[in-house]
Amino acid sequence: MGRQGSNTAKKNAGKEKSSGEKRHSKAKQGELVFALDIGTRTIVGIVGQKKGDTFEIVDVAVKAHTKRAMRDGQIEDIDEVAKVVKSVKDELEERLGIKLSHVSIAAAGRALKTQHVRVEIDVEGKDSITEEMVRSFELEAVSQAQAQLDEAQKGKPVSFYCVGHSIVNYYLDDYPIKSFVGHKGKTAAVDMIAAFLPSIVVESLYAVMEKNKLEVASLTLEPIAAMNIIIPPEVRLINIALVDIGAGTSDIAISKNGSIVAYAMATVAGDEITEEIIKRYLVDFETAENMKLAANSEEISYKDILGFEHSVSRDEFFKSLYPALDMLAETISANIVEVNGEAPAAVFLVGGGSKIPGLSQAVSQKLSIPENRVAVGGHNFLKNIITGDFNLNGPEYVTPLGIAVTAATQQGYDFSIVTLNKKKIRIFNTKSLTVLDLLTIAGYKSSNIIGRTGRNLTFTLNGEPKTVNGEPATPAVITVNDSPANINTPISQGDNVTIIPAKNGKNAEITVSELTGGEGPKNVCISGIDYKFGKIAYINGTRAEGGYKIQNFDKVEIKTVSTLGDLILSMPFDMSNMRFYKGKLKLSADYILRDGDMLTVEEIIEPAPSSQPALQAPPKIEEQNEIPAPPKEEPKAENPPPKPEPPKQTRKPGIRVRLNGRYIELEPHEDGSPNLFLELTALANLDTSRPQGTGNIILTLNGRVANYTDILQDGDVAVIEWEKA
């Protein structure tokens, strides 16, 4: 392969020189794509170019690591890997006569972290969903995925870059939908897979490139690169698992329903077979690798670490490796089922490790699918790729070819350094990097960018439903290089972005005072006791002050007390047997109360019952503000009867109290102590075994809340009754 490529390149170079164009310096890279696949065992360099819908290979170089500088697809010795990269780069530059300045690379899936999230957003009552709203939904999903990963990594000194995300599906009111834009509903849901790489993986790859003065033009993930050329989008409706088996890891990508739905990684690969050879045949690592590569020969010869030469037949050799092969197939199959939920319809095996004889059959057995549904992918599965004279038919070239094609079709990612609020951020981006991508990496949530409208307030007022809307949000103020911008504004390397975060709208709120129009209760004093009148509010049946803030689902009732009659009716006790005066002016029920009124009250004493009740005419109702006439003097009798002498009292007389509208005579205590309110509880006739209303008892004395130890006076008015619900 390498020799064919060298001869072709030399012929082309000879033609150029014979044309008389003497080259004093190397030509620029131009539109040529330089791709590097930095594997655990080898580094493959491919130079090619896009021609219409095809990608043509120009040259290829392959170099093996001379030392174990990488482990499980991750760089451990930057300087050593940089030397091998330089060797590949120098060889290609020499043959092609150009200066390679830009490179496309891929990161191994071993370091990949994925988070599958589903985020639901309340969109009820909003206008039609816009593209900007959809981007904010996706941002919220990425933020939650980042939060989940941070929580899982809590306490570990590893930071992760979000390298991108793919939408599995959108849902509107639990129904799958292709696009939200223009729709209305109650709940929008985003089902997403977000992918993350630890910063050390990216930084080590960049460090190797910088040592070779190569600028990274594109970076992708190895399983994505392989998927892009083995399983194109039009085939992804089928449930297919692609497994890239390298030396250190087996990277897995799953397609279904038209998109890539999952990524996974198994920490077993070709090295497990090599290590089994080392232990079983007592050889060093290099000899074991050579034995594995010579496995297609009928007889395999080798020298062990003791210096003895041996040979083993092909059948015996593979039979001895079966335990390691079975373990590799079992691990790969288990990981496929774990992320896919079941065995897929088909499996593609790529990478150098996929060439192990018997592996595809073992995988089909583990997954219980036909053998012809597990294929080793190679050049025969590639479309629109012209390899020319280069022998790139093996599955080990799928990933490097995928890196090159991904870069040529501008599907790869790259990092840019952008300043956000005076802080430099390295962002993993696409060719269409936007402010939203930057803010996602920086940890901003949708509430920081668009803001949320304040919550509405719903309650009932005098039985009618009422709604107060929350305040709208104040969106973020964004600038790019001091010019006004929004979340969709493109940004690039070196841009300076500032953001003043959005402010959420205030939640709706309203007070009792606002509902009453600012007209607070007024005071009237009756016999030394203050009472409220005017507009009086009750919240859920309980009296509320003007400063009370209405809560969701409160039942609000506002009563207007403007006349003396209204006030009497609002009292928790019976006052129908009372006369009210303002000074000497007797008041009627329709008297309009004034703030600060000072009233007095006089009880109407009922005559004592007799055996023959006298019929009397009803008292005349006096007009409002009418001054009562003085009573007429009765004519004196000429010979008045002698007054009987009052009986001698041997003890203090009792008192007369009105309890719940009826009069009660209380006998005086023999020790001369006063009568207490407590004595009335035994006379109230309350059925305490069957509580009524709210289950609370009202105790009042002359309109005020009473205590059991209150001293009773003659003429007091008391109420002891169940509180009404």
360: domain CATH number is: 3.30.420.40
Q: Is residue 390 part of a domain?
A: no
**Measured distance CA(670)–CA(660) in Å, rounded:** 27
Structure tokens at 364: 């089909």
Evaluate whether 353 touches 247 at the Cβ level (below 8 Å): yes
DSSP 618-662: PPPPPPTTPPPPPPPPPPPPSSPPPPPPPPPPSS---EEEEETTE
Question: What confidence score (pLDDT) does residue 477 get?
Answer: 92
Q: Is residue 320 part of a domain?
A: yes
> Over the stretch 351-384, which tens digit does the pLDDT of each residue have?
888 888 788 999 999 999 999 999 887 666 677 8
Structure tokens at 339: 């992320």
Task: State the average pLDDT over residues 483-487.
Answer: 91
Q: Is residue 297 part of a domain?
A: yes
> Over the stretch 298-337, which tens digit does the pLDDT of each residue have?
888 999 999 999 999 888 888 888 888 889 899 999 999 9
**Measured distance CA(301)–CA(299) in Å, rounded:** 7
Higher pLDDT, residue 449 or 610? 449
Q: Is residue 70 part of a domain?
A: no
Cβ neighbours for 130, distance < 8 A, ≥ 6 positions apart: 181
Kindly state whether residues 278 and 373 are assigned to the same domain: yes
Cβ neighbours for 71, distance < 8 A, ≥ 6 positions apart: 40, 248
Look up the domain containing 545 and give its range: 512-603
Question: What confidence score (pLDDT) does residue 337 get?
Answer: 92
Cβ neighbours for 468, distance < 8 A, ≥ 6 positions apart: 456, 457, 508, 509, 510
CATH number of the domain to which 181 belongs: 3.30.1490.110
Structure tokens at 60: 């290829």
pLDDT-derived band at 92, boundaries 50, 70, 90: very high
Evaluate whether 112 touches 221 at the Cβ level (below 8 Å): yes
**Measured distance CA(424)–CA(439) in Å, rounded:** 12
Task: State the average pLDDT over residues 652-672.
Answer: 82
Q: Is residue 80 part of a domain?
A: no
Question: Any idea which residue has 């010579």 for tokens?
Answer: 294
Q: Is residue 85 part of a domain?
A: no
H or E, element range at 142: helix 131-152
Kindly state whether residues 590 and 667 are assigned to the same domain: no
**Measured distance CA(51)–CA(695) in Å, rounded:** 88
pLDDT-derived band at 627, boundaries 50, 70, 90: very low
> Over the stretch 233-281, which tens digit does the pLDDT of each residue have?
778 888 999 998 887 778 888 888 777 778 777 777 777 888 888 999 9
pLDDT-derived band at 143, boundaries 50, 70, 90: confident
Q: Is residue 92 part of a domain?
A: no
Evaluate whether 329 touches 366 at the Cβ level (below 8 Å): yes
> Over the stretch 17-67, which tens digit does the pLDDT of each residue have?
333 333 345 677 888 999 999 988 889 999 999 888 889 999 999 998 888
pLDDT-derived band at 145, boundaries 50, 70, 90: confident
Q: Which of 561, 582, 603 is the last residue of a domain?
A: 603
H or E, element range at 54: strand 54-64
H or E, element range at 428: strand 423-429
Q: Is residue 160 part of a domain?
A: yes
| Selection from 61, 184, 207, 49 nearest residue 124 by Cα | 184
Structure tokens at 3: 């020799």
Q: Is the pLDDT of residue 89 over 90?
A: yes
Kindly state whether residues 425 and 489 are assigned to the same domain: yes
Kindly state whether residues 528 and 475 are assigned to the same domain: no
H or E, element range at 466: strand 464-468
H or E, element range at 171: strand 160-172
> Over the stretch 606-618, which tens digit does the pLDDT of each residue have?
555 554 444 444 4
**Measured distance CA(599)–CA(578) in Å, rounded:** 12
Q: Is the pLDDT of residue 207 over 50?
A: yes
Kindly state whether residues 282 and 377 are assigned to the same domain: yes
Q: Is the pLDDT of residue 125 over 90?
A: no
**Measured distance CA(680)–CA(663) in Å, rounded:** 11
Kindly state whether residues 485 and 518 are assigned to the same domain: no
Q: Which of 500, 525, 552 is the last residue of a domain?
A: 500
> Over the stretch 110-124, which tens digit does the pLDDT of each residue have?
667 888 889 888 888
Percentage of the chain surpassing pLDDT 70?
84
Kindly state whether residues 487 and 532 are assigned to the same domain: no
Higher pLDDT, residue 524 or 621? 524
CATH number of the domain to which 708 belongs: 3.10.20.30
Higher pLDDT, residue 81 or 666? 81
Q: What are the angstrom distances between the C-alpha of 465 and each of 218, 389, 459, 717?
A: 59, 80, 6, 40
Kindly state whether residues 318 and 363 are assigned to the same domain: yes
Q: Which of 359, 382, 405 is the last residue of a domain?
A: 382
Most confidently modeled of 144-148, 487-491, 675-679?
487-491
What's the chain's average pLDDT? 80
Domain count, the chain: 4
Question: What confidence score (pLDDT) does residue 468 get?
Answer: 92
Cβ neighbours for 453, distance < 8 A, ≥ 6 positions apart: 470, 471, 472, 473, 504, 505
Kindly state whether residues 460 and 546 are assigned to the same domain: no
Kindly state whether residues 273 and 352 are assigned to the same domain: yes
Task: State the average pLDDT over residues 202-206.
Answer: 85
Kindly state whether residues 293 and 333 are assigned to the same domain: yes
Give 228's Cβ-side CA count (13 Å radius). Answer: 22
Three-state SS for 320? helix
**Measured distance CA(50)–CA(61) in Å, rounded:** 19
CATH number of the domain to which 572 belongs: 3.10.20
Kindly state whether residues 495 and 516 are assigned to the same domain: no
Question: What confidence score (pLDDT) does residue 80 get?
Answer: 94
Structure tokens at 617: 């005419």
